[in-house]
Amino acid sequence: MIIKINEKTPSIDGAYWHRGNVKILKNEYRDLRERIKDIVRNEESDFNTDMKFKVGIVVSGHWMTKKNTIYKSDLANKEKFLIDSIFPALGVDDSQIWDIHLTKIDSKEDFTIVEIECLTQE
């Protein structure tokens, strides 16, 4: 399954309001999570809770400053937001991910591509 998200993928950092011990997802993050879930639900999948998955994530966006230094933006925190949005919509748990690869592309366009494959059952 290949999922393309044509907007900037946020970091999980700063996604939540904290009220005591309760975490509340901010509205803009909740809205994006729902858009991602809609994309996933429109894809056909036969994934189940007995499978192991390999995930590849490519995040395209503006990663470099004008002085050609790297912005301090953590790719792994973007991955966490994506996984937490996609896997519940598939009806499987992200603990079923056995192999994951993250890639950054420096570009003027913001988009993310997530490829999910089922690993062969042994």
- In sequence order, the 6+-apart residues with CB closer than 8 A to the CB of 9 are 59, 61, 78, 81, 82, 110, 112
User: What CA–CA distance (Å, rounded) separates 18 from 50?
Assistant: 35
Residue with tokens 């937001």: 81
Structure tokens at 100: 């994951």
| Nearest CA among 55, 56, 76, 69 for reference residue 106 | 69
pLDDT score of 122 more than 80? no
Confidence of residue 114 (pLDDT cuts 50, 70, 90): very high
Give the per-residue pLDDT at 48.
82
- Kindly report, residue by residue over 88-103, the tens digit of the pLDDT: 989 899 999 999 999 9
Q: What's the total number of domains in the chain?
A: 1
Beta strands (DSSP E) in 1-122 are 2-5, 16-19, 22-25, 52-61, 97-106, 111-119
Q: Which of 118, 112, 30 is nearest to 75 (CA)?
A: 112
The band of 66, judged by pLDDT with boundaries at 50, 70 and 90, is confident
At residue 8, does pLDDT exceed 80?
Answer: yes
Range of the domain at 87: 2-119
- 73 vs 18, higher pLDDT: 18
* E strand residue ranges, 50-107: 52-61, 97-106
pLDDT at 121: 61
The angle, 0 to 180 degrees and rounded to 10, between the axes of the packed helices 75-90 and 27-41 is 50
pLDDT category of residue 75 using cuts at 50, 70 and 90: confident
What is the SS3 assignment for 62? coil
CATH of the domain at 110: 3.30.1330.70
pLDDT at position 44 over 90:
no
